[in-house]
């Protein structure tokens, strides 16, 4: 009974302090929030927060340039159309790219789930599938870049109107594509470590020195989901607007 009473007392959150002590407690809340979080997760969240500001600045600059230029802005449905069977199909490549990247977010989520179950075969396979989908996305983006460059789009000009279109397109999609490329590389590295059983044996190495810890798979998942989420905003603001 005494043990039960002690456990109940520990589970009850302490009352919020008042006065100056309450102010000090509020300023120290970040220390309490991250107290039980691993350094790997904390650093990834901090990195993603800083990256959010960068992508946000890029998209704000794009919207400002588009709304302030007196030159007509190119119509995305015409610029990003593909000729299929003699007909121009608008945004078909962008739609496929979006589907591929969103699907990779689902496979990554399943990889994290199986990672915490320590089913390394399924975890590695799903991470490899995620990397393949990411590489497919980058390949289609390279095709898109090649097509526009062939048609005369440059960072300083384009044949359809406002010159800012080219610089905005290459800057935003290139920065995002770089994130996807690095994500694919780290997915392949982590999948190899999972397949070899480094997380089960505690084999010394990058994020594998603690036996039985599959947390790095979840950290990779955080990064990958962020990349997918950013693409949703790029798709909405750049291709649909």
Burial call 55-77: b when 16+ CB within 10 Å, e when fewer: beebbeebeebbeeeeeebbebe
Residue-range definition of the domain harbouring residue 114? 39-82+89-239
Tell me the per-residue pLDDT of 54-103, one tens digit each, with 9 for 90 and over: 999 999 999 999 899 888 888 888 888 888 888 888 889 999 999 999 99
Gap between the Cα atoms of 202 and 212, Å rounded: 7
Measured CA angle at 30 (ends 209, 46), to 5 deg: 55
Is pLDDT of 9 > 50?
no
What token pair was written down for 160? 């359809």
Q: CA–CA separation, 98 vs 232, rounded Å? A: 8
Whether residue 69 is contained in a domain is answered as yes
Is 129 a domain residue?
yes
**The total number of structural domains that make up the chain:** 1
| Residue 21 domain flag | no
Radius of gyration of the chain (CA): 23
**CATH no. for residue 175?**
1.20.120.80
Whole-angstrom distance, CA of residue 89 vs CA of residue 92: 6
Asked whether residue 163 is domain-assigned, the answer is yes
**168-190 per-position pLDDT tens digit:** 999 999 999 999 999 999 999 99
Structure token digits, residue 181: 């490329």
Closest CA to 241 of 40, 44, 101, 65: 65
Q: What percentage of the chain has pLDDT greater than the value 90?
A: 47
For residue 13, is it within any domain?
Answer: no
Tokens in use for 70?
Answer: 């007196």
Flag whether pLDDT at 198 surpasses 50.
yes
* 93 touches 239 (CB < 8 A): no
**Is there a domain that residue 6 lies in?**
no
Strands 87-89 and 82-84: antiparallel
3-state SS class at 92: helix
Least confident of 93-102, 145-154, 158-167: 158-167
Structure tokens at 141: 């983006």
For residue 155, the model assigns a pLDDT of 87
**Per-chain mean pLDDT for the chain:** 83
Structure confidence at residue 36 as a pLDDT band (50, 70, 90): low
19 pLDDT band, cuts 50/70/90, is: low
Is residue 3, in this structure, part of any structural domain at all?
A: no
Task: Point out the least confidently predicted range of 19-33, 34-48, 114-128.
Answer: 19-33
């Amino acid at each position: 009974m005494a043990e039960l009473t002690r456990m109940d007392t520990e589970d009850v959150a302490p009352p919020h302090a008042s006065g100056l002590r309450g102010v000090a407690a509020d300023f120290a809340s970040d220390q309490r929030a991250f107290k039980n979080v691993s350094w790997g997760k904390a650093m990834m969240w901090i990195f993603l927060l800083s990256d959010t500001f960068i992508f946000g600045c890029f998209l704000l600059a794009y919207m400002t340039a588009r709304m302030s230029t007196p030159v007509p802005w190119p119509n995305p449905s015409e610029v990003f159309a593909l000729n299929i069977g003699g007909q121009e199909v608008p945004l078909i490549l962008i739609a496929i790219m979006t589907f591929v990247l969103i699907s990779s977010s689902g496979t990554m989520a399943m990889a994290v789930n199986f990672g915490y179950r320590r089913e390394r075969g399924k975890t590695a396979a799903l991470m490899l599938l995620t990397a393949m989908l990411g590489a497919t996305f980058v390949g289609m983006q390279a095709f898109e870049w090649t097509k526009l460059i062939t048609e005369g789009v440059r960072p300083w000009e384009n044949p359809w109107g406002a010159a800012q279109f080219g610089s905005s397109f290459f800057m935003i999609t290139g920065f995002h594509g770089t994130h996807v490329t690095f994500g694919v590389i780290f997915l392949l590295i982590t999948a190899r470590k999972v397949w070899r059983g480094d997380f089960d044996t505690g084999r010394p190495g990058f994020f594998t020195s603690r036996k039985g810890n599959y947390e790095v798979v979840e950290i990779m998942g955080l990064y990958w989901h962020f990349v997918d989420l950013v693409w949703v905003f790029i798709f909405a603001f750049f291709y649909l607007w």
